[in-house]
Each structure stands twice: as structure tokens, then as C-alpha cells.
Amino acid sequence: MIVDCAVYREGRRTEGSADLSDALDQARTSGGFVWIGLHEPTADEFDLVTQEFGLHPLAVEDALKAHQRPKLEVYDDSLFMVLKPVAYEPNSDTVSTGEIMIFLGDAFVVTVRHGEGSSLNAVQSRLEHEPKLLGKGPTSVVYAIADAAVDHYLDVATELQTDLEELEAEVFSPGGAGTGHTASRIYTFKRQILEFRRATGPLTAPMARLAGMAGTGVFGVAVPFVAKKAQPFFRDVHDHLTRVNESVEGLDRLVSDILSAHLAQVSVQQNDDMRKISAWAAMAAVPTLLAGIYGMNFRHMPELRWEWSYPAVILVMAMLEVLLYRLFKRRGWM
């Protein structure tokens, strides 16, 4: 249940007690903080952490159930933040999301991970190699996690842009409009962009609050447990997140335009096919008409007694067919 329990003092990891209460007391006494990492804990497993750190029951419920949208909530003794890291599989055009819940207190950080794409090993390794950043306290952990998630958003947006350009080339290639696979891939791509947007869009307001940015209404007030010296770091993350959201908006508009262009191509191709079918139907109507006239078996039809009537009718049919073919060919119907 507990993946890691680390005590940090002056930017360095120190030996800590295995008991959570003792580890927290040790961190507070030494001016450091304790970082507890959990992965998909059950309610019974998380109960000990809840009691030792005094976590709010509503936040605990969200952390256990998962499937939350990115958000930041302020409680009396802690902050609760939700992030959704994103992974992209180019071979299947699939965007998948995990979840990271962060509890931030005066001398502790508790991270709860859900999903396979939410590993924090790289974040922890980075922090432990930057003692100056880690020495800023538990806020540095929140910053490092958010920074890593948003930077990966940029990588995913770049990969999506590359694949979307390939999809665009496929749509406008000769014969690209006539394949059902292309339409299916466009719709799938649009759904993946929507999944990506659900992870990036709602995170803007929490990042603005942590950055203490002006013009955010009630969110402009200082957030507890976040030092003012840390706000510039969160402003940098917010700037990167803004770039991501702009990229996602551009991708969404582009895939919508590609879909519209594909549907227009399909419509044009269908109209072209209908013209060809109509032209062939008109040519087939000529011999049918003549055969219908002479097949009515009237008694007084002088042509039936004429020796050259059959060749004459065949010649008239051929001439009319040639005339119609040249007319339709000139108009591009055939």
C-alpha cells in the first residue's frame, strides 16, 4: 500500500521512522517534511494515513474513488489537489489518463496514485538530485509533480500534432475520401483529443491559484501551505499549461476541419458516382425505348415489313448511343 515513506531535511533524504506518526514528528522537529507515496490504496489501508495526518474525509473519499477532474481544494489542515497525467500510444491513436491526488500540509505530502501512467519515480529522482529545490519544503513536491505532468502534456501534444498531420495527408491523398477506415480514424482521433482536453483544461484554475495570479477573482487570494516564494515556479507551470491548452484547441479545430473536408470529399465523390450512374442509365434507356416501341405488336407498323428495318433500328440505336456518350463525356459525367 505505502510505496515509499521518506523524510527530507534541508533538501536531503534522511533515515526516518517506519511509524507514520513518529516520522511526522521527526520532520516537524527538524524543520523538514515527510513524503508518503501510495498506489491505489483500499479504504482500510488508507485509514491509518488519514488518522495520522488528519486528512479531510471528503478529500479522502475522492482519493479512494478516483475518477476525479483536476482541481484544488483548501481544507483547514491541508490542501487537496488532483492531477491527471496523460500517456499516448501512437500505434493505436489512444490517449490514456491516470490520476495523482496530492495532500499538502505544513510538514507533509501524501501522494495517491491511480493507473499505470502515474509513476512518480522520475519526479522523486529529480528532486533528490536538486537539494536546493527540495529544500523549499513540501511545496516543491507539488511543483515538481505538476511541472512533470504539464511538460509531458507538451510532448503528447507534439505527438498528436505529428499524427494529425499524417491523418491530414491521408485524407487529401488520391482515394483517401473513399475509405471507411479514414472516417473511423478521424472520429477516434477527435475522441482522444477530447480525453486530452479533460485532463488539461480544468487544471488551469488550480495552477492560477497556486501561482497567486491576479485577476482570478476569489482565486487571487493566497493559498495556505504555499509560500509566496514558490508562486513564480507555479506561474511557469501555468504558462506551459496555457501553451498546452492552446495546442489542444488548435488540434481540436484542425481535426474538425479535416472531418468537414473528408465529408465534403465523400459528398463530391458520391455526386460524381451518381452522375456516372445517371449517364449510363440514360444510355441504356435509348435501346429500351426503341425496343419497347417495336415490341408493342401493332398491326399497322410499316417498318416491320421493310427488309432493312432491323439494321436501320440497330444503326439508330448506335448513333444515339454515340451521341449521348460524347455529350456526357464532354460534360465530365463519364
User: CATH 1.20.58.340 occupies which residues in the chain?
Assistant: 269-330
Q: From CA 86, how far away is CA 148, in angstroms rounded?
A: 11
DSSP reduced 3-state for 5: strand
Fill in the DSSP letter of residue 120. -
How many other CB atoms are found less than 10 A from the CB of residue 167?
A: 21
Residue 218 has pLDDT above 80, yes or no: no
Beta bridge partners of residue 278, listed in sequence order: none
User: CATH 3.30.460.20 occupies which residues in the chain?
Assistant: 2-267
| pLDDT, tens digit (0-9, with 9 covering 90-100), for 20-46 | 777 777 777 778 888 888 888 888 888
| Mean pLDDT of all residues belonging to the chain | 83
Whether the CB-CB separation of 17 and 23 falls below 8 Å is answered with yes
Which of 130-139, 155-164, 235-244, 290-299 has the least mean pLDDT?
290-299
b/e burial code for range 117-132 (CB count within 10 A of at least 16 → b): bbebeebbeebeeeee
Q: What cell does 302 get?
A: 410499316
Residue 173 has pLDDT above 80, yes or no: no
Q: Where are the alpha helices (DSSP H) in 105-138?
A: 121-128, 131-134
Fill in the DSSP letter of residue 135. T
- CATH 1.20.58.340 assigned to 269-330: yes
Question: What is the predicted pLDDT for the residue at 152?
Answer: 92
Beta bridge partners of residue 102, listed in sequence order: 81, 111
Whether the CB-CB separation of 98 and 114 falls below 8 Å is answered with yes
Q: Which amino acid is at 281?
A: A
Max mean pLDDT among 181-190, 249-258, 262-271 falls in 249-258
- Alpha carbon 6 to its chain centroid, in Å, reads 34
Is the pTM above the cut of 0.95? no
Task: Please give the CATH architecture assigned to the domain spanning 2-267.
Answer: 2-Layer Sandwich (3.30)
Fill in the DSSP letter of residue 184. H
| pLDDT, tens digit (0-9, with 9 covering 90-100), for 99-128 | 999 999 888 899 999 986 667 888 988 888
